[in-house]
Amino acid sequence: MTALVAAGTGLLTGCGLWLLLRPRTFDAVLGLTLLSYAVNLFIMAMGRLKVGAAPILTDGAATLADTADPLPQALVLTAIVISFAMTALLLALALRSHAETGSDHVDGQEPHR
């Protein structure tokens, strides 16, 4: 399970960085979105990956190690809301830039070929 999450995080990070370095604004927005997904997976992995763990300490759970850690879950939930707002803002800026310049290139003009 840990290796699968690590591979998924690495794949999302690699694709996000590749898209972020592209010369188009939509690609940059999509790259930032993939990077935020990778950070969310990383935060969840740092909070111990446990399948079927109880969310709170009960009489059946012998120790604190038998329960899930709620802090990474709360951090990721907050990060999802923030990344959604950031994506909406960046898309609005990209659309406005495209309307002003007529191009979605990051410099506002197409390179000469």
At 5-55, the pLDDT tens digits run 899 999 999 999 999 999 899 999 999 999 999 999 998 888 777 777 666
How far is the C-alpha of 108 from the C-alpha of 90, rounded, in Å? 16
Round the average pLDDT of the chain to a whole number and report it: 85
Q: State residue 58's pLDDT score.
A: 67
Residue 111 DSSP class: P
Structure pTM?
0.79
